[in-house]
Structure formats: C-alpha cells, structure tokens
Amino acid sequence: MGLSGVASQKCISPPCGATFDVGEVLVACPKCGELLDVVYDWSKASPPSELRELEKYWTQRHNPLRFSGVWRFHDLLPFVDPDSVVTVGEGQTLLQQADGVAPFVGMKTGRLFLQYEGMNPSGSFKDNGMTAAFTHANNIGAKRAACASTGNTSASLAMYCSVTRAMRAVIFIGSGKISFGKLSQALDYGALTVQISGDFDDAMQRVKEICSRLGIYLVNSVNPFRLEGQKTIMFRVLESLGWRVPDWIVVPGGNLGNSSAFGKAFFELKQLGLIDRIPRLAVINAAGANTLYELFEKRGMRWKDGHGDPTLANGYFGELDSTGAKASTIASAIEINRPVNLMKCLRALDVCDGVVREVSDQQILDAKSQVGAGGMGCEPASAASVAGAKLLREEGVIGMDDEVVCILTGHLLKDPKATVAYHTTDQTEFDEVLGSRGVRRASFANRAVRVPNDLDEIIKAIQLYS
Ligand code: F0G
C-alpha cells in the first residue's frame, strides 16, 4: 500500500478502539463488530498548513492525480501511495449559487448553493468514494468487487471495472427497486448483475455473506476507504466558496455514508486547525424510509462519545421485522430502512450539531421540479436535501441570512420515469408511478402541449403559452 505508519484502520467504538493495518480487508471490527475508520498519524503525513495551499495543485491538471477532484486532496486522505491511485477523472463537480431555487426554499439571493455531484462520470456522488475503495481493492490485489445497491453504487463500481479492466464487478440489486437509468449503466458496463427477490436491505445482508464466503472485495460504504473519498465533496464545497465555511450542509440520508464522511471531514479539518468552525449538518430522510429521523429525533438516540444506547436501534429494527414494514419511497436511491452507517452518522450529527428531518414524496418531487426549473436538475433522492432545507427554513431552524449548501447527489437523467410522470397529462401514468406513492398533485408540472399537426394550430399554441 505504501505510506505505512501514516494511516491505519481503527474501530469507532471507544471502548474497543482496536487498530488494524490499512492493508487488511475489513468491513467491521473483527473484535467487536463495529464500523471502522481510516485514521491518520498527521505528524507523519503532509497536511497543508492552510487550505489555500491546496491551490498549488490546480496548475498540475495534466497529472491524473491532480486532475481528479478527489485525489487533488490526497494530502487529506493519505492512506495510499499517490502512485498507486486508480482514477477515472472523478470529482469535476460544480457548486452553483442557486438564485433560481432560493425563493422556493425561502432564502435570499446569494444564500443558497447547490452542489451538483451528478456531474461525476457515472452520474452520482458515488464515484468520490468508489475511486478510494477501488484503489484500496486494487492495491491489495482484489480480482472481484461487489456491492448491494439501489443503483448508483452499482453503476459506479461497474464503471470503474469497465474503464480500468482491473476487476470484475458483481452487483446485487433488489427486485423492481432500481431506476432504469441506473440498471442500464450496470448492464452496459458489463457487470454481473444479480437481482434478488427482496429489497435493498435484503440485498445488503446477502452481499456481506457472499463476500465473506467467496473472498470478494466489498465496496459498500461499510468499507472505510469509501468514506475517505466522499470527504472530498466537502473539500470541494469549501474550495468553491473560497475556503469559507457555510452555515449549513444539507444532505439526503440513505445508507448514511455521505453524512458520516462529511462529519469526519469537518472533524479532521478542525483538528488540523484548517477551519475555525464546523457547519451544521441536516440529514434528510424520505418519510417512507425514515430510520434515522425516527431514532434521532423521535427516540433520542445519540452518539454520546460512542456510548449511545444500541438497544434503541435494535428495538426499532425489531418493530420493523415484527410488522413486516419495508422501506417505500419514490426516491428509490434512499429506500433503505437499515442504514449501515448509523453509528458513524450519529457521530457526525454530534460533531456538526446536526438535525434530521423527513420529507414526503410529494415534497421531494415538488422540490425536484424546482431544482430543474431553477437549476440543472437532479434525481428524486437528491431533491430531499432541497425539500429538507425548505422545511428547516419554514421551521426557522435555518435562518434568513444563513449560507446553505444542499448536496445534489445524482443526475436528473438517472430516473426519467419519475420526472416524466410528474409532468405528464396522462392520469393513468401519473397514478401508476406517483399515485401509488401518495403523490396527489404535480404542483409545478410543466405539461406538454398537445396540438394537431397543423401549422396554424401550432402557431396559436406557441402564442398562447409563451
Ligand atoms: N442520493 C443518491 C442519489 C443515492 O444514490 C444515495 C445512495 C443517497 C443519496 C444516499 O446516500 O447512503 O450516503 O446516505 N445510494 C446507495 C446506492 C445506497 O446503492 O447507490 P448515503
């Protein structure tokens, strides 16, 4: 791996705190079963003394390491020798000052920003983490890599395998729970696609068993290296703001990898003296997949320096099992009831004085249409962040003058079916796709105008509607 002595893996549970070499392939602490972190002995690494120093890499874009929006921050994730990084040019993303969307959220001009992670090569934020996990997998000589996925992780893994030819991708998806945009990526990239009868939570359980049985490298976000890559989303946000720390980061919550990674990023930047304050974090669940909201906001589950009460989560999961409750939301990417990074996310909420909210499918799709109408669009799950920011503004939790960054995790074209159904004039199509999800009104629908194939009629329609 190189860089021995700089990085190690460490159990996040303070009573355990066992450490392991970065060369080991682990997705849980072998001693106590908790999640693992990648930790650094910064005295042996070369972190910048101020964030602005990282700008020196901007002039080195001919070097793939520095072209990457992940690896140009290698100094802040030095778990691997820079020479052995696997990159496909991920992380060329954009922070947009979203003045067109701000009024919908209840914000003033210049205060709302949207971070477009759908601009990544596979169309979602997953590439940030995948390049890191894939690099680790390649360094330890893995020949096959697997994941369970609601679609974006699988598209990303499949793409890294097809572009680099370094490994074979094995992906697990639930039945009927994946948007066609994402499924088509996995198929086109040539991944072995295993569709099991069950949902994401079932697929996640199976893939862990299969990987340990067959010795396949697991790239889901239980893999601590994935989250190292995802820290860089926050580094790019700060970079785009001229290294200013915003007041709020708002992110959709599914498996809770992003929120966990963001908390770690800010904790480390503060520890290194590179920022003087940490932004607040808002994690937004879909109401039909609201485990974090239920545990954090309703049942008071907290990190408590790693001593939070796990019986709260176990009790809740027991209730889900006994009633046969399954996650259900139009935002299929975050249709997850058993988030694997729950404990790390609780830690992030603690570090970032965070809050959790849930939003309905109606709120998600209305927000999504506004991101499209005033910005560059996103997939349903991503719009949960904007719907959540609007809710927090209405509650007064986010203030009038706060600077807010919503993370748009995936590209608009990932799930065109939901978008077209929202804008359609066809009631049957609307009901089939959206009605069954409790969506009753396409409040901001931009309906196609139907006209006969007649010049006068077409001109009349254009004059009437434009
Ligand atoms: N947004 C999108 C577009 C996603 O694909 C996901 C997760 C999330 C948000 C949630 O992020 O897990 O870090 O809280 N998708 C995973 C997948 C589960 O398999 O593609 P998280």
- Does residue 258 line the site of ligand 1, with CB under 6 A? yes
In a domain, 245, yes or no: yes
- Does residue 335 line the site of ligand 1, with CB under 6 A? no
Q: Where do runs of H (alpha helix) occur along 324-360?
A: 342-351
Q: Is 49 left (phi over 0), alpha (psi -120 to 50) or beta?
A: alpha
Cα 98 to Cα 78: distance, rounded to the nearest angstrom: 33
Atom of ligand 1 nearest to the CA of 118: 3
Q: How does DSSP classify residue 166?
A: S
Cα(134) to ligand 1 centroid in Å equals 18
- pLDDT of 46 reads 96
Query: How confident is the model over 154-179, as a mean pLDDT?
Result: 94
What does pTM read for this prediction? 0.97
Query: How confident is the model over 374-396, as a mean pLDDT?
Result: 98
- Does residue 153 line the site of ligand 1, with CB under 6 A? yes
Query: How confident is the model over 55-78, as a mean pLDDT?
Result: 97
- pLDDT of 166 reads 93
- Does residue 341 line the site of ligand 1, with CB under 6 A? no
Range with lowest mean pLDDT among 371-385, 389-403, 437-451: 437-451
CATH number of the structural domain spanning residue 376: 3.40.50.1100
Which residue type is seen at 393? R
- Does residue 333 line the site of ligand 1, with CB under 6 A? yes
- Does residue 256 line the site of ligand 1, with CB under 6 A? yes
Q: Say yes or no to pLDDT of 458 above 60.
A: yes
Rg of the Cα trace of the chain?
22
> What is the extent of the structural domain holding 275?
94-122+226-417
Atom of ligand 1 nearest to the CA of 283: 14
Total domains present in the chain: 1
Q: Say yes or no to pLDDT of 306 above 70.
A: yes
Cα 136 to Cα 79: distance, rounded to the nearest angstrom: 9
**397 touches 391 (CB < 8 A):** no
Cα(6) to ligand 1 centroid in Å equals 30
In a domain, 377, yes or no: yes
Q: Say yes or no to pLDDT of 177 above 80.
A: no
Cα 148 to Cα 74: distance, rounded to the nearest angstrom: 27
Going by pLDDT thresholds of 50, 70 and 90, the confidence category of residue 186 is very high
pLDDT in tens, 354-364: 999 999 999 99
- pLDDT of 466 reads 86
Q: Say yes or no to pLDDT of 3 above 80.
A: no
- pLDDT of 425 reads 87
In a domain, 400, yes or no: yes
Cα(212) to ligand 1 centroid in Å equals 23
Give the residue, 30 or 308, on which the prediction is more confident: 30
- pLDDT of 205 reads 93
Q: Say yes or no to pLDDT of 1 above 70.
A: no
- pLDDT of 295 reads 98
Going by pLDDT thresholds of 50, 70 and 90, the confidence category of residue 175 is confident
Cα 191 to Cα 173: distance, rounded to the nearest angstrom: 12
SS3 423: helix
- pLDDT of 310 reads 86
Q: Say yes or no to pLDDT of 4 above 80.
A: no
Going by pLDDT thresholds of 50, 70 and 90, the confidence category of residue 88 is very high
- Does residue 289 line the site of ligand 1, with CB under 6 A? no
Query: How confident is the model over 397-409, as a mean pLDDT?
Result: 97
Query: How confident is the model over 224-246, as a mean pLDDT?
Result: 98
* Sole residue written with tokens 């969307």: 101
**40 touches 78 (CB < 8 A):** yes
Q: How far is CA 352 from CA 116, 390, 406, 465, in A?
A: 22, 20, 15, 47
What angle, 0 to 180 degrees and rounded to 10, lies between the N-to-C axes of helices 380-395 and 361-374?
A: 100
What does pLDDT average to over the chain?
Answer: 96
Q: Say yes or no to pLDDT of 131 above 60.
A: yes
Query: How confident is the model over 228-234, as a mean pLDDT?
Result: 98
Q: Say yes or no to pLDDT of 434 above 60.
A: yes
- pLDDT of 385 reads 98
- pLDDT of 2 reads 56
Q: Which residues contact 353 (CB under 8 A, 6 or more apart)?
A: 278, 280, 281
Query: How confident is the model over 25-53, as a mean pLDDT?
Result: 97
- Does residue 348 line the site of ligand 1, with CB under 6 A? no
